Amino acid sequence: MGKKKELPPYKILYEILRKQITDGLYSKGDILPSENELCSTHSVTRPTVRKALDRLVHEGYIRKKQGKGSIVQGQPQGVGILSLSGTTSAIGKENLTTKIVIKQHLTNWDEDAFGFPLNDSEKQVGCYRLERLRIVNKQPVFYDITLVPNINLPRFVSRNFENRSLFDIMRTAYQIEVIGGEQKLMAITADEKIQKYFNLKSAQPILRLDRKMETSKEGFFFYSQVYCNTADYALYGTF
Amino acid sequence: MGKKKELPPYKILYEILRKQITDGLYSKGDILPSENELCSTHSVTRPTVRKALDRLVHEGYIRKKQGKGSIVQGQPQGVGILSLSGTTSAIGKENLTTKIVIKQHLTNWDEDAFGFPLNDSEKQVGCYRLERLRIVNKQPVFYDITLVPNINLPRFVSRNFENRSLFDIMRTAYQIEVIGGEQKLMAITADEKIQKYFNLKSAQPILRLDRKMETSKEGFFFYSQVYCNTADYALYGTF
DNA sequence: CAGCTCAACTTGTATTTACAAGTTAATATT
DNA sequence: AATATTAACTTGTAAATACAAGTTGAGCTG
C-alpha cells in the first residue's frame, strides 16, 4: 500500500547486481560487465556505477582488479550469514536446514537485550522474538534468538524467516540496513536447555555470540544471541 | 632507503584523519572539520575528501549525518583489534598489557596454516611466527599466534609488536592492507598447553579463532590463531 | 520570552571531463 | 613459432560543477 520511497540510482543498481550475484546469475570467478557497460545498460554515469560497485566490494560480493574487471566472489558469509566449516569439507547450503523453534511474536523485553542496554524508546515498545535452530545432517548445530523492537514494522509477524535472512527482509521490505554493530563472543559450558536443543549427553563447550545490530534507521537496533555447537563444525565467516 | 611510493591524496588524507582519531585528537562524539573545511586545509576537492571519509566510515571510525557532520566513533574494535568486554564494565586499554611470548622469527610452515591451505609460493618461503599473550589485571586472557609469509618484508624481525598492531605496521610500513579474510570460530576444551598459558586449574571452555587475512597485495595472506579465556571477559568486537 | 522563518551551514547524490595505470589480445617482426 | 609492440579495453584517481535534503542558529514577530 504505502508507496516505496524512491531510491537513488546507485542503490537501485546495487540491489540489481547484488540480486544477480545471490541468484547465481554470476558465479564465483565470473567478471561483471565493465563499468562502461553498466553505464550504458542502466543509463547512469560512471561515478554512480562505481558507488554501487564500491558497496558490493565493501560487503565482499566482488573484488576489483585494475585493468581486468570486477570479479565475483560469491556469497560472502559475514555478519549476517553465518555458516559452518566442516572438519573435512565445507558444508553446502543444501545440507543446512532451518527449523523455526518459536515463530516471531510480540513480547516484552527482559531488563536488557542479551546484555546490551536498551534505550528509552526501545523500552516503551515491546519486541518481536524469534527462535531458530539450524540443523546439519540431522544434527542441530546452532540455535539463535533474535529480538527486534516493535517500531514501524508492518506485517512483521507474517514474514517467513525460514528461507530468508532477517537482514534481507529488513533491507528490502523496510529499507533498514545493518551498518555495523557490536558483538561479544564467549565459550561457555552447555546448560540443560542448550544440551536439550543440541541433543548433547554432557556439558561440553559451546560457542555463544551476543550481537547488537546498528542500522541505517536512527535509534533502531536489533539483537541476536547465537549458540553454536562447534564440536564437528567450526563457525565460519568471511569479513 | 627505498623510497616510499607516492600515495594518492585521498589515502594521505585518510591516514592523517585516522591518526588524529587514534591519537585522541578527536574523541567519541566530536565532529570532524566539514568536508569543505578539509578541502581548504588539504588543498583537495570534495570528491577526494569524501573518498577518504568513506573509508573511515567503512572501518567504523566515523559516522556521517546529513546536514550535521562527521561524528567520531572512537577506535573501532573489529577484525584487527580484538578487545574484551568485562562482565561489569568495559576494560580500558590501560588495563590490557601485551607480553611477547615468542618474538617474531623465521621458521617453516606446518602442512597448512591453522587449517587454511597454503599456496605454492607460500610453501616455498618460510614464515615469520610471533606469539603474544594479553594480560588483564595480571590474568592472561588471550594468547595469539601469527604467521606471516616471508615475502618482501624488510626489517620485519626488528619491528616491535608489543605496542603496535600488526595491521598498522603492515599498512604503514609495507602498504599492505587487510581487505578481508576468513575466520573459523570454535569453543574447545583447554588442553595442557592452554591451561598453562592461562593459569587454569581445570579444562574449561576456551574460545578459539583461526583466521586467514587477505590483503591488498595479490597472493599475500597472513594467518592468526587466537585463544581466548572468556570466563571473566567476553571477546568484544564492533563490525 | 516563545515560536517561527530563513539564511547559511552541513552531507547526499550525480554529471561531465580528464588522465593514470593495469590487462589483454591482435598484429608485426624476427 | 616465438617475441615484442601497441591499440583497445579495463579500473583507479581527481577536478569541477550543480542541486537535493538535513541541521542549526540568528533574527524577527507576536
pLDDT on residue B79: 46
Would you say how long chain A is, in residues?
239
Q: Helix B46-58 crosses helix B9-22 at what angle (to 10 degrees)?
A: 50
Q: Are residues B65 and B112 in the same domain?
A: no
Amino acid A1: pLDDT: 33
Confidence at residue B92, expressed as pLDDT on a 0 to 100 scale:
52
* Residue A221, Cβ density class (10 Å: 0-12 exposed, 13-18 middle, ≥19 buried): buried
My answer on whether B105 and B219 are in the same domain is: yes
- Label the pairing between strands A69-72 and B127-136: unpaired
pLDDT tens-digit readout, A21-74: 988 899 899 999 999 999 999 999 999 999 999 999 988 899 999 999 999 987
User: Given CB atoms, is A68 within the 8 Å cutoff of chain B?
Assistant: no
Q: What's the pLDDT at B80?
A: 44
A120, A196: one domain: yes
Give me B167's grid cell: 595491521
Cα gap A171→A179, rounded to integer Å: 11
Rounded, the Å distance between the CA of B217 and C1' of D11 is: 16
3-state secondary structure string, B44-102?
A: CCHHHHHHHHHHHHHCCCEEEECCCEEEECCCCCCCCCCEEEECCCECCHHHEEEEEEE
A90: closest chain B residue by CA = B184
Residue at which a domain ends, from A72, A94, A109:
A72
- Residues B88, B52: one domain? no
| Total number of domains in chain A | 2
Asked if A20 and A122 sit in the same domain, the reply is no
How far apart CA A20 and CA A92 sit, in angstroms, is 20
* A45 and A128 fall within a common domain: no
pLDDT value for A4: 46
| Ranges of residues in chain A whose predicted pLDDT is under 70 | 1-5, 77-95
DSSP lists the bridge partners of residue B189 as B205
Report chain A residues whose CB lies below 8 A from the CB of B180.
Answer: 60, 238-239
Question: Does some domain include residue A87?
Answer: yes
Instruction: Show the domain range for B218.
Output: 83-236
The reported pLDDT for the residue numbered A42 is: 93
pTM of the model: 0.79
Q: Is residue A187 domain-shared with residue A113, that is, in the same domain? A: yes
Residues near strand C (C-beta below 7 A) are A 8-11, 43-48, 51, 65-68; B 32, 34-37, 46-47, 50, 64-70
Q: What is the pLDDT of residue A21?
A: 92
Other beta carbons within 10 Å of B119: 11
List all residues 6 or more positions away from A101 whose beta carbon is below 8 Å from its beta carbon. Answer: A131, A132, A133, A143, A197
Put simply, the answer to whether A185 touches B58 (Cβ < 8 Å) is no
Query: pLDDT under 70 in chain B at which residues?
Result: 1-5, 77-95
- Give strand letter and number of the nucleotide nearest B10 (CA to C1'): D13
In the prediction, which pLDDT does A214 show? 84
Size of interface A-B (CB pairs under 8 A): 92
Domain co-membership, A96 together with A187: yes
With respect to residue A4, please indicate whether it lies within any of the assigned structural domains.
Answer: no
Please, what's the b/e burial string for B140-175 (b: 16 or more CB within 10 A of its CB; e: otherwise)?
bbbbbbbbbbebebeebeebebeeeebbbbbbeeee
- My answer on whether A53 and A114 are in the same domain is no
Q: What pLDDT, on the 0 to 100 scale, is given for residue A123? A: 85
H helices then E strands: how many in chain B?
6, 10
Rounded Cα distance between A211 and B138, Å, is 28
Q: Which of B22, B53, B72 is the last residue of a domain?
A: B72
Give ipTM to 2 decimals.
Answer: 0.79
Determine, yes or no, domain membership for B1. Answer: no
Mapping DSSP to helix (H, G, I), strand (E, B) and coil, where does residue A169 land?
helix
pLDDT for A34 = 95
Are A161 and A223 within one domain? Answer: yes
